[in-house]
Structure 1
Protein backbone atom coordinates (compact mmCIF):
# COMPACT_ATOMS: atom_id res chain seq x y z
CA UNK A 1 0.00 0.00 0.00
CA UNK A 2 1.50 3.28 -1.11
CA UNK A 3 1.97 6.29 1.13
CA UNK A 4 -0.73 8.16 -0.76
CA UNK A 5 -3.29 5.51 0.12
CA UNK A 6 -2.23 5.48 3.76
CA UNK A 7 -2.46 9.24 3.95
CA UNK A 8 -5.89 9.19 2.33
CA UNK A 9 -7.11 6.48 4.70
CA UNK A 10 -5.80 8.31 7.73
CA UNK A 11 -7.38 11.53 6.50
CA UNK A 12 -10.71 9.76 6.03
CA UNK A 13 -10.55 8.30 9.54
CA UNK A 14 -9.64 11.67 10.99
CA UNK A 15 -12.52 13.28 9.08
CA UNK A 16 -14.98 10.66 10.35
CA UNK A 17 -13.73 11.10 13.91
CA UNK A 18 -14.05 14.87 13.50
CA UNK A 19 -17.63 14.51 12.22
CA UNK A 20 -18.48 12.16 15.07
CA UNK A 21 -16.96 14.49 17.65
CA UNK A 22 -18.74 17.49 16.11
CA UNK A 23 -22.05 15.61 16.08
CA UNK A 24 -21.65 14.44 19.66
CA UNK A 25 -20.62 17.94 20.73
CA UNK A 26 -23.70 19.35 19.01
CA UNK A 27 -25.93 16.78 20.77
CA UNK A 28 -24.38 17.56 24.14
CA UNK A 29 -24.67 21.30 23.51
CA UNK A 30 -28.30 20.91 22.43
CA UNK A 31 -29.08 18.80 25.51
CA UNK A 32 -27.38 21.30 27.79
CA UNK A 33 -29.29 24.15 26.15
CA UNK A 34 -32.56 22.26 26.62
CA UNK A 35 -31.73 21.59 30.25
CA UNK A 36 -30.85 25.25 30.76
CA UNK A 37 -34.13 26.34 29.15
CA UNK A 38 -36.08 23.86 31.29
CA UNK A 39 -34.31 25.07 34.44
CA UNK A 40 -35.11 28.64 33.48
CA UNK A 41 -38.77 27.76 32.95
CA UNK A 42 -38.93 25.99 36.30
CA UNK A 43 -37.31 28.99 37.98
CA UNK A 44 -39.79 31.34 36.30
CA UNK A 45 -42.68 29.12 37.39
CA UNK A 46 -41.33 29.04 40.96
CA UNK A 47 -40.99 32.82 40.92
CA UNK A 48 -44.58 33.13 39.66
CA UNK A 49 -45.73 30.90 42.51
CA UNK A 50 -43.75 32.85 45.09
CA UNK A 51 -45.17 36.20 43.99
CA UNK A 52 -48.83 35.18 43.69
CA UNK A 53 -49.33 32.14 45.92
CA UNK A 54 -50.34 34.14 49.02
CA UNK A 55 -52.81 36.58 47.38
CA UNK A 56 -54.28 33.76 45.31
CA UNK A 57 -54.63 31.57 48.39
CA UNK A 58 -56.12 34.42 50.42
CA UNK A 59 -58.70 35.32 47.79
CA UNK A 60 -59.61 31.65 47.19
CA UNK A 61 -60.07 31.14 50.93
CA UNK A 62 -62.21 34.27 51.28
CA UNK A 63 -64.49 33.16 48.45
CA UNK A 64 -64.80 29.49 49.40
CA UNK A 65 -65.40 30.41 53.05
CA UNK A 66 -68.14 32.85 52.08
CA UNK A 67 -69.80 30.27 49.82
CA UNK A 68 -69.60 27.67 52.57
CA UNK A 69 -71.21 30.05 55.07
CA UNK A 70 -73.85 31.12 52.57
CA UNK A 71 -74.86 27.60 51.56
CA UNK A 72 -74.52 25.72 54.84
CA UNK A 73 -74.98 28.24 57.64
CA UNK A 74 -77.70 30.63 56.40
CA UNK A 75 -75.24 33.52 56.41
CA UNK A 76 -77.20 35.58 53.88
CA UNK A 77 -80.59 34.88 55.43
CA UNK A 78 -79.42 35.98 58.86
CA UNK A 79 -78.29 39.40 57.67
CA UNK A 80 -80.46 40.14 54.63
CA UNK A 81 -83.64 39.56 56.66
CA UNK A 82 -82.70 40.06 60.28
CA UNK A 83 -79.85 42.57 60.02
CA UNK A 84 -79.95 46.34 59.81
CA UNK A 85 -79.23 48.41 56.69
CA UNK A 86 -75.48 48.29 57.26
CA UNK A 87 -75.56 44.49 57.62
CA UNK A 88 -77.58 44.12 54.42
CA UNK A 89 -75.22 46.39 52.54
CA UNK A 90 -72.17 44.48 53.76
CA UNK A 91 -73.31 40.94 53.00
CA UNK A 92 -74.53 41.94 49.53
CA UNK A 93 -71.51 43.98 48.50
CA UNK A 94 -68.83 41.94 50.23
CA UNK A 95 -70.16 38.68 48.77
CA UNK A 96 -69.78 40.14 45.28
CA UNK A 97 -66.43 41.65 46.25
CA UNK A 98 -64.81 38.36 47.30
CA UNK A 99 -65.80 36.86 43.95
CA UNK A 100 -64.46 39.87 42.06
CA UNK A 101 -61.24 39.90 44.09
CA UNK A 102 -60.51 36.28 43.25
CA UNK A 103 -61.23 36.81 39.56
CA UNK A 104 -58.85 39.77 39.64
CA UNK A 105 -55.96 37.68 40.98
CA UNK A 106 -56.69 35.02 38.37
CA UNK A 107 -56.47 37.73 35.72
CA UNK A 108 -53.14 38.97 37.10
CA UNK A 109 -51.75 35.45 37.01
CA UNK A 110 -53.05 34.85 33.48
CA UNK A 111 -51.38 38.03 32.23
CA UNK A 112 -48.07 37.13 33.85
CA UNK A 113 -48.06 33.58 32.52
CA UNK A 114 -49.04 34.56 28.99
CA UNK A 115 -45.54 35.81 28.13
CA UNK A 116 -43.50 33.16 29.95
CA UNK A 117 -44.13 29.99 27.88
CA UNK A 118 -44.50 27.80 30.97
CA UNK A 119 -46.98 25.27 29.58
CA UNK A 120 -44.40 22.47 29.75
CA UNK A 121 -43.73 22.97 33.47
CA UNK A 122 -45.74 20.37 35.41
CA UNK A 123 -46.61 22.63 38.34
CA UNK A 124 -47.82 25.36 35.99
CA UNK A 125 -49.96 22.93 34.00
CA UNK A 126 -51.54 21.69 37.23
CA UNK A 127 -52.18 25.23 38.46
CA UNK A 128 -53.84 26.45 35.29
CA UNK A 129 -55.87 23.26 35.00
CA UNK A 130 -57.17 23.97 38.51
CA UNK A 131 -57.93 27.56 37.52
CA UNK A 132 -59.88 26.39 34.46
CA UNK A 133 -61.95 24.17 36.74
CA UNK A 134 -62.80 27.29 38.76
CA UNK A 135 -63.82 29.27 35.69
CA UNK A 136 -66.07 26.56 34.32
CA UNK A 137 -68.85 26.27 36.94
CA UNK A 138 -69.30 30.03 36.79
CA UNK A 139 -69.30 30.15 33.00
CA UNK A 140 -71.46 27.18 32.07
CA UNK A 141 -75.05 27.91 31.11
CA UNK A 142 -75.94 24.27 31.76
CA UNK A 143 -76.41 24.77 35.50
CA UNK A 144 -79.47 26.61 36.79
CA UNK A 145 -79.26 29.39 39.28
CA UNK A 146 -77.70 32.81 39.82
CA UNK A 147 -74.11 33.99 39.48
CA UNK A 148 -73.60 32.72 35.94
CA UNK A 149 -70.65 34.74 34.64
CA UNK A 150 -69.33 33.92 31.18
CA UNK A 151 -65.55 33.70 30.78
CA UNK A 152 -65.22 37.01 28.97
CA UNK A 153 -67.23 38.68 31.73
CA UNK A 154 -65.04 36.99 34.34
CA UNK A 155 -61.95 38.43 32.71
CA UNK A 156 -63.57 41.86 32.44
CA UNK A 157 -64.43 41.84 36.15
CA UNK A 158 -60.85 40.87 36.92
CA UNK A 159 -59.57 43.64 34.67
CA UNK A 160 -61.65 46.48 36.16
CA UNK A 161 -60.62 45.38 39.65
CA UNK A 162 -56.94 46.04 38.89
CA UNK A 163 -55.02 49.25 39.48
CA UNK A 164 -51.40 50.34 39.35
CA UNK A 165 -49.51 51.12 42.54
CA UNK A 166 -46.18 52.90 42.89
CA UNK A 167 -43.73 51.14 45.22
CA UNK A 168 -40.05 51.45 46.01
CA UNK A 169 -39.46 48.69 43.43
CA UNK A 170 -41.43 50.46 40.71
CA UNK A 171 -45.01 50.23 39.48
CA UNK A 172 -46.89 47.03 40.31
CA UNK A 173 -50.39 45.72 39.66
CA UNK A 174 -52.68 45.37 42.68
CA UNK A 175 -56.33 44.56 43.30
CA UNK A 176 -58.86 47.03 44.68
CA UNK A 177 -59.58 46.67 48.38
CA UNK A 178 -63.13 46.41 49.65
CA UNK A 179 -63.46 50.10 50.57
CA UNK A 180 -62.19 51.23 47.16
CA UNK A 181 -64.54 48.71 45.50
CA UNK A 182 -67.57 50.13 47.31
CA UNK A 183 -66.50 53.70 46.51
CA UNK A 184 -66.14 52.88 42.81
CA UNK A 185 -69.58 51.25 42.78
CA UNK A 186 -71.12 54.43 44.16
CA UNK A 187 -69.21 56.93 42.02
CA UNK A 188 -68.43 55.19 38.71
CA UNK A 189 -71.46 53.95 36.72
CA UNK A 190 -69.23 52.24 34.16
CA UNK A 191 -67.49 50.26 36.87
CA UNK A 192 -70.77 49.48 38.62
CA UNK A 193 -72.31 48.13 35.41
CA UNK A 194 -70.09 45.03 35.63
CA UNK A 195 -71.54 44.16 39.05
CA UNK A 196 -75.18 45.31 39.07
CA UNK A 197 -76.62 41.92 38.14
CA UNK A 198 -74.47 40.06 40.64
CA UNK A 199 -75.49 42.44 43.42
CA UNK A 200 -79.15 41.87 42.57
CA UNK A 201 -78.68 38.10 42.39
CA UNK A 202 -77.39 37.83 45.96
CA UNK A 203 -81.09 37.59 46.96
CA UNK A 204 -81.55 34.71 44.49
CA UNK A 205 -78.56 32.91 46.01
CA UNK A 206 -80.14 33.26 49.45
CA UNK A 207 -83.51 32.00 48.21
CA UNK A 208 -82.12 29.02 46.29
CA UNK A 209 -80.60 27.04 49.12
CA UNK A 210 -77.91 24.48 48.40
CA UNK A 211 -79.91 22.57 45.77
CA UNK A 212 -80.70 25.75 43.85
CA UNK A 213 -77.06 26.85 43.90
CA UNK A 214 -75.25 23.82 42.52
CA UNK A 215 -73.10 26.18 40.47
CA UNK A 216 -71.73 27.72 43.66
CA UNK A 217 -71.40 24.35 45.41
CA UNK A 218 -69.19 23.17 42.54
CA UNK A 219 -67.27 26.42 42.62
CA UNK A 220 -66.62 26.04 46.35
CA UNK A 221 -65.33 22.51 45.80
CA UNK A 222 -62.93 23.65 43.07
CA UNK A 223 -61.67 26.52 45.23
CA UNK A 224 -60.81 24.03 47.97
CA UNK A 225 -58.99 21.93 45.36
CA UNK A 226 -56.97 24.99 44.32
CA UNK A 227 -56.10 25.72 47.96
CA UNK A 228 -54.95 22.12 48.41
CA UNK A 229 -52.75 22.42 45.33
CA UNK A 230 -51.16 25.68 46.45
CA UNK A 231 -50.82 24.80 50.13
CA UNK A 232 -50.90 20.99 50.47
CA UNK A 233 -49.40 20.87 53.98
CA UNK A 234 -51.35 23.76 55.48
CA UNK A 235 -48.40 26.11 55.83
CA UNK A 236 -50.54 29.19 55.11
CA UNK A 237 -54.13 28.03 55.63
CA UNK A 238 -55.18 25.47 58.28
CA UNK A 239 -56.10 22.05 56.89
CA UNK A 240 -59.30 21.98 58.96
CA UNK A 241 -60.66 25.00 57.06
CA UNK A 242 -61.04 23.03 53.82
CA UNK A 243 -64.40 21.37 54.15
CA UNK A 244 -66.10 20.74 50.82
CA UNK A 245 -69.83 21.31 50.54
CA UNK A 246 -71.67 18.07 49.64
CA UNK A 247 -72.41 17.92 45.93
CA UNK A 248 -75.60 16.72 44.33
CA UNK A 249 -75.25 13.86 41.88
CA UNK A 250 -74.72 16.06 38.83
CA UNK A 251 -72.22 16.27 36.01
CA UNK A 252 -70.78 19.67 35.23
CA UNK A 253 -71.89 20.26 31.64
CA UNK A 254 -69.90 21.99 28.96
CA UNK A 255 -71.10 25.50 28.19
CA UNK A 256 -73.48 25.63 25.23
CA UNK A 257 -72.11 29.04 24.42
CA UNK A 258 -68.78 28.65 22.51
CA UNK A 259 -67.27 31.86 23.85
CA UNK A 260 -68.86 31.65 27.27
Structure 2
Protein backbone atom coordinates (compact mmCIF):
# COMPACT_ATOMS: atom_id res chain seq x y z
CA UNK A 1 0.00 0.00 0.00
CA UNK A 2 1.36 3.37 -0.96
CA UNK A 3 1.97 6.06 1.57
CA UNK A 4 -0.78 8.15 -0.03
CA UNK A 5 -3.37 5.37 0.38
CA UNK A 6 -2.30 4.75 3.97
CA UNK A 7 -2.65 8.42 4.80
CA UNK A 8 -6.03 8.53 3.11
CA UNK A 9 -7.22 5.46 5.03
CA UNK A 10 -6.04 6.91 8.32
CA UNK A 11 -7.72 10.21 7.51
CA UNK A 12 -10.96 8.41 6.74
CA UNK A 13 -10.83 6.49 10.00
CA UNK A 14 -10.09 9.69 11.92
CA UNK A 15 -12.99 11.43 10.20
CA UNK A 16 -15.33 8.53 10.97
CA UNK A 17 -14.26 8.47 14.60
CA UNK A 18 -14.75 12.23 14.78
CA UNK A 19 -18.25 11.88 13.33
CA UNK A 20 -19.12 9.14 15.83
CA UNK A 21 -17.73 11.12 18.74
CA UNK A 22 -19.48 14.28 17.57
CA UNK A 23 -22.76 12.39 17.27
CA UNK A 24 -22.39 10.98 20.77
CA UNK A 25 -21.48 14.39 22.12
CA UNK A 26 -24.49 15.91 20.41
CA UNK A 27 -26.79 13.26 21.90
CA UNK A 28 -25.30 13.73 25.34
CA UNK A 29 -25.65 17.48 24.98
CA UNK A 30 -29.28 17.03 23.95
CA UNK A 31 -29.96 14.75 26.93
CA UNK A 32 -28.23 17.21 29.26
CA UNK A 33 -30.21 20.14 27.85
CA UNK A 34 -33.48 18.24 28.26
CA UNK A 35 -32.61 17.38 31.85
CA UNK A 36 -31.69 20.99 32.60
CA UNK A 37 -34.97 22.15 31.11
CA UNK A 38 -36.86 19.59 33.19
CA UNK A 39 -35.11 20.68 36.37
CA UNK A 40 -35.70 24.33 35.53
CA UNK A 41 -39.41 23.69 34.95
CA UNK A 42 -39.60 21.75 38.22
CA UNK A 43 -37.93 24.60 40.09
CA UNK A 44 -40.33 27.06 38.48
CA UNK A 45 -43.33 24.95 39.53
CA UNK A 46 -41.96 24.65 43.05
CA UNK A 47 -41.40 28.41 43.24
CA UNK A 48 -44.95 29.02 42.03
CA UNK A 49 -46.30 26.55 44.58
CA UNK A 50 -44.42 28.29 47.40
CA UNK A 51 -45.68 31.66 46.16
CA UNK A 52 -49.28 30.47 46.20
CA UNK A 53 -48.72 28.84 49.59
CA UNK A 54 -47.39 32.08 51.08
CA UNK A 55 -50.21 34.11 49.52
CA UNK A 56 -53.05 31.92 50.76
CA UNK A 57 -51.88 29.38 53.33
CA UNK A 58 -50.18 31.83 55.68
CA UNK A 59 -53.13 34.26 55.88
CA UNK A 60 -55.42 31.30 56.53
CA UNK A 61 -53.06 30.14 59.27
CA UNK A 62 -53.05 33.53 60.99
CA UNK A 63 -56.80 34.03 60.67
CA UNK A 64 -57.36 30.59 62.23
CA UNK A 65 -54.95 31.50 65.01
CA UNK A 66 -56.67 34.83 65.70
CA UNK A 67 -60.09 33.19 65.87
CA UNK A 68 -59.06 30.33 68.14
CA UNK A 69 -57.13 32.76 70.31
CA UNK A 70 -60.21 34.95 70.74
CA UNK A 71 -62.37 31.97 71.70
CA UNK A 72 -59.69 30.79 74.12
CA UNK A 73 -59.43 34.23 75.74
CA UNK A 74 -63.21 34.59 76.01
CA UNK A 75 -63.21 31.42 78.12
CA UNK A 76 -59.96 31.69 80.07
CA UNK A 77 -59.43 35.47 80.34
CA UNK A 78 -63.11 36.50 80.34
CA UNK A 79 -62.35 38.81 77.42
CA UNK A 80 -65.94 39.69 76.52
CA UNK A 81 -67.14 40.01 80.10
CA UNK A 82 -64.22 42.31 80.92
CA UNK A 83 -64.14 44.52 77.84
CA UNK A 84 -67.82 44.21 76.95
CA UNK A 85 -68.85 46.13 80.08
CA UNK A 86 -65.80 48.38 80.25
CA UNK A 87 -66.47 52.00 81.27
CA UNK A 88 -64.49 52.99 78.17
CA UNK A 89 -66.73 53.10 75.09
CA UNK A 90 -63.86 52.31 72.73
CA UNK A 91 -63.11 49.08 74.62
CA UNK A 92 -66.77 48.02 74.61
CA UNK A 93 -66.95 48.55 70.86
CA UNK A 94 -63.67 46.71 70.30
CA UNK A 95 -64.87 43.67 72.24
CA UNK A 96 -67.90 43.33 69.99
CA UNK A 97 -66.56 44.45 66.62
CA UNK A 98 -63.19 42.73 66.76
CA UNK A 99 -64.72 39.42 67.84
CA UNK A 100 -67.08 39.63 64.89
CA UNK A 101 -64.14 40.60 62.68
CA UNK A 102 -61.98 37.57 63.49
CA UNK A 103 -64.89 35.24 62.65
CA UNK A 104 -65.57 36.95 59.32
CA UNK A 105 -61.89 37.23 58.43
CA UNK A 106 -61.44 33.48 58.85
CA UNK A 107 -64.50 32.81 56.69
CA UNK A 108 -63.14 35.28 54.13
CA UNK A 109 -59.87 33.42 53.73
CA UNK A 110 -61.71 30.11 53.51
CA UNK A 111 -63.84 31.55 50.71
CA UNK A 112 -60.74 32.81 48.88
CA UNK A 113 -59.10 29.39 49.17
CA UNK A 114 -62.31 27.67 48.07
CA UNK A 115 -62.14 29.71 44.86
CA UNK A 116 -58.44 28.96 44.38
CA UNK A 117 -58.25 25.42 45.78
CA UNK A 118 -57.21 23.94 42.44
CA UNK A 119 -54.07 26.08 42.61
CA UNK A 120 -53.27 25.43 46.28
CA UNK A 121 -50.92 22.46 45.98
CA UNK A 122 -49.51 21.49 49.37
CA UNK A 123 -47.06 19.06 47.82
CA UNK A 124 -49.07 15.85 47.86
CA UNK A 125 -52.61 14.64 47.29
CA UNK A 126 -52.74 13.41 50.87
CA UNK A 127 -51.94 16.89 52.20
CA UNK A 128 -54.49 18.47 49.88
CA UNK A 129 -57.18 16.05 51.06
CA UNK A 130 -56.22 16.69 54.68
CA UNK A 131 -56.61 20.44 54.26
CA UNK A 132 -60.06 20.04 52.71
CA UNK A 133 -61.03 17.63 55.50
CA UNK A 134 -59.98 20.10 58.22
CA UNK A 135 -61.80 23.01 56.58
CA UNK A 136 -64.89 20.84 56.19
CA UNK A 137 -64.78 19.85 59.86
CA UNK A 138 -64.73 23.49 60.93
CA UNK A 139 -67.54 24.34 58.52
CA UNK A 140 -69.64 21.51 59.94
CA UNK A 141 -69.09 22.70 63.52
CA UNK A 142 -70.44 26.10 62.49
CA UNK A 143 -73.44 24.70 60.60
CA UNK A 144 -74.53 21.55 62.45
CA UNK A 145 -77.82 21.40 64.34
CA UNK A 146 -76.61 18.78 66.84
CA UNK A 147 -75.83 21.41 69.49
CA UNK A 148 -78.72 22.27 71.81
CA UNK A 149 -77.38 25.82 72.04
CA UNK A 150 -78.09 27.45 68.68
CA UNK A 151 -75.79 30.41 69.26
CA UNK A 152 -73.03 30.85 66.66
CA UNK A 153 -74.73 28.49 64.25
CA UNK A 154 -73.81 29.68 60.74
CA UNK A 155 -75.26 27.69 57.86
CA UNK A 156 -73.01 26.81 54.94
CA UNK A 157 -74.54 29.39 52.63
CA UNK A 158 -74.25 32.02 55.35
CA UNK A 159 -70.60 31.11 55.87
CA UNK A 160 -69.95 31.73 52.20
CA UNK A 161 -71.91 34.99 52.24
CA UNK A 162 -69.96 36.30 55.23
CA UNK A 163 -66.74 35.18 53.57
CA UNK A 164 -67.65 37.01 50.37
CA UNK A 165 -68.42 40.19 52.31
CA UNK A 166 -65.08 39.96 54.13
CA UNK A 167 -63.08 39.83 50.88
CA UNK A 168 -61.48 43.09 49.82
CA UNK A 169 -61.75 44.09 46.17
CA UNK A 170 -59.01 46.70 46.44
CA UNK A 171 -55.90 45.88 44.37
CA UNK A 172 -55.23 42.89 42.14
CA UNK A 173 -54.52 40.19 44.74
CA UNK A 174 -57.42 38.73 46.70
CA UNK A 175 -57.26 39.53 50.39
CA UNK A 176 -59.60 40.23 53.28
CA UNK A 177 -60.79 43.54 54.64
CA UNK A 178 -58.63 45.16 57.26
CA UNK A 179 -60.15 45.86 60.66
CA UNK A 180 -60.65 49.58 60.03
CA UNK A 181 -62.47 48.97 56.74
CA UNK A 182 -64.51 46.20 58.37
CA UNK A 183 -65.71 48.57 61.11
CA UNK A 184 -66.51 51.24 58.52
CA UNK A 185 -68.62 48.76 56.56
CA UNK A 186 -70.52 47.86 59.73
CA UNK A 187 -71.41 51.52 60.17
CA UNK A 188 -72.41 52.49 56.63
CA UNK A 189 -73.36 49.31 54.75
CA UNK A 190 -76.82 48.01 55.68
CA UNK A 191 -76.37 44.87 53.54
CA UNK A 192 -73.15 44.08 55.38
CA UNK A 193 -74.84 44.63 58.74
CA UNK A 194 -77.78 42.43 57.76
CA UNK A 195 -75.53 39.40 57.25
CA UNK A 196 -73.52 39.98 60.44
CA UNK A 197 -76.33 40.89 62.85
CA UNK A 198 -77.00 37.28 63.88
CA UNK A 199 -73.42 36.73 64.99
CA UNK A 200 -73.40 40.18 66.59
CA UNK A 201 -76.39 39.17 68.76
CA UNK A 202 -74.68 35.90 69.72
CA UNK A 203 -71.54 37.79 70.74
CA UNK A 204 -73.69 40.10 72.88
CA UNK A 205 -75.06 37.13 74.82
CA UNK A 206 -71.54 36.06 75.83
CA UNK A 207 -70.87 39.36 77.56
CA UNK A 208 -73.10 38.36 80.47
CA UNK A 209 -72.58 34.61 80.21
CA UNK A 210 -70.38 32.48 82.45
CA UNK A 211 -70.22 29.46 80.15
CA UNK A 212 -68.93 29.15 76.60
CA UNK A 213 -71.20 27.32 74.13
CA UNK A 214 -69.92 23.83 73.34
CA UNK A 215 -69.92 24.76 69.65
CA UNK A 216 -67.18 27.33 70.30
CA UNK A 217 -65.17 24.89 72.42
CA UNK A 218 -65.23 22.37 69.57
CA UNK A 219 -64.50 25.13 67.05
CA UNK A 220 -61.40 26.17 68.96
CA UNK A 221 -60.12 22.59 69.01
CA UNK A 222 -60.74 22.16 65.28
CA UNK A 223 -58.90 25.41 64.56
CA UNK A 224 -55.92 24.13 66.58
CA UNK A 225 -55.94 21.02 64.37
CA UNK A 226 -55.82 23.26 61.30
CA UNK A 227 -52.98 25.32 62.76
CA UNK A 228 -50.99 22.19 63.59
CA UNK A 229 -51.41 21.01 60.01
CA UNK A 230 -50.47 24.32 58.38
CA UNK A 231 -47.53 24.97 60.73
CA UNK A 232 -46.39 21.52 61.90
CA UNK A 233 -42.93 22.64 62.99
CA UNK A 234 -44.14 25.74 64.88
CA UNK A 235 -42.12 28.02 62.62
CA UNK A 236 -44.73 30.77 62.81
CA UNK A 237 -46.88 30.07 65.84
CA UNK A 238 -45.20 28.71 69.00
CA UNK A 239 -46.46 25.51 70.56
CA UNK A 240 -47.12 27.45 73.77
CA UNK A 241 -49.89 29.37 71.99
CA UNK A 242 -51.81 26.27 70.88
CA UNK A 243 -53.58 25.31 74.10
CA UNK A 244 -56.95 23.59 73.77
CA UNK A 245 -60.04 24.38 75.75
CA UNK A 246 -61.66 21.66 77.81
CA UNK A 247 -65.26 21.70 78.89
CA UNK A 248 -67.54 19.41 80.86
CA UNK A 249 -70.54 20.83 79.05
CA UNK A 250 -73.05 18.26 77.75
CA UNK A 251 -74.40 20.69 75.21
CA UNK A 252 -73.65 18.51 72.18
CA UNK A 253 -76.09 15.74 71.40
CA UNK A 254 -75.34 12.59 69.45
CA UNK A 255 -75.75 12.55 65.70
CA UNK A 256 -74.01 13.85 62.65
State the TM-score, normalized to the length of structure 2: 0.74
Rounded to whole Å, the distance in 2 between the matches of 1:117 and 1:230 is 13
Match in the other structure for 1:177: 178
Structure 1 residues 94-109: aligned runs within 5 Å: 94-109=98-113
Contact 1:146 1:205 in 2 (8 A): no
2:91 paired residue among 87, 97, 102: 87
Rounded to whole Å, the distance in 1 between the matches of 2:125 and 2:169 is 29
Match in the other structure for 1:136: 140
1:148 paired residue among 141, 144, 153: 153
Structure 1 residue 137, shift from structure 2 partner: 1.2
Match in the other structure for 1:72: 76
Rounded to whole Å, the distance in 2 between the matches of 1:45 and 1:222 is 26
Match in the other structure for 2:206: 205
The answer to whether the aligner puts 1:165 opposite 2:170 as a matched pair is yes
Structure 1 residue 206, shift from structure 2 partner: 3.2
Q: Are the structure 2 counterparts of residues 223 and 163 from structure 1 closer, same or farther at C-alpha, using a change threshold of 3 Å?
A: same
Rounded to whole Å, the distance in 1 between the matches of 2:162 and 2:83 is 26
Q: Are the structure 2 counterparts of residues 115 and 61 from structure 1 closer, same or farther at C-alpha, using a change threshold of 3 Å?
A: closer
Contact 1:137 1:252 in 2 (8 A): no
Rounded to whole Å, the distance in 2 between the matches of 1:230 and 1:190 is 33
Match in the other structure for 2:24: none
The answer for unaligned runs of 5 or more in structure 1 is: 1-38, 256-260
Match in the other structure for 2:222: 222
SS of corresponding position for 1:200: helix
Q: For this pair of structures, how many residues does the alignment match?
A: 211
Q: Residue deviations 1:49-99, cap 9 Å, x none?
A: 332121011101110000000012211111112342111111001000000
Rounded to whole Å, the distance in 2 between the matches of 1:214 and 1:45 is 37
Contact 1:157 1:194 in 2 (8 A): yes
Contact 2:108 2:164 in 1 (8 A): yes
SS of corresponding position for 2:169: strand
Q: Are the structure 2 counterparts of residues 85 and 116 from structure 1 closer, same or farther at C-alpha, using a change threshold of 3 Å?
A: closer
The structure with the larger Rg is 2
Q: Are the structure 2 counterparts of residues 99 and 92 from structure 1 closer, same or farther at C-alpha, using a change threshold of 3 Å?
A: same
Match in the other structure for 1:63: 67
State the TM-score, normalized to the length of structure 1: 0.73
Structure 1 residue 254, shift from structure 2 partner: 5.3
The answer for unaligned runs of 5 or more in structure 2 is: 1-41
Runs of 4+ more than 2 Å apart: 42-51, 114-118, 163-166, 205-210, 247-255
Which deviates further from its counterpart, 244-253 or 143-152? 244-253
Rounded to whole Å, the distance in 1 between the matches of 2:80 and 2:157 is 28
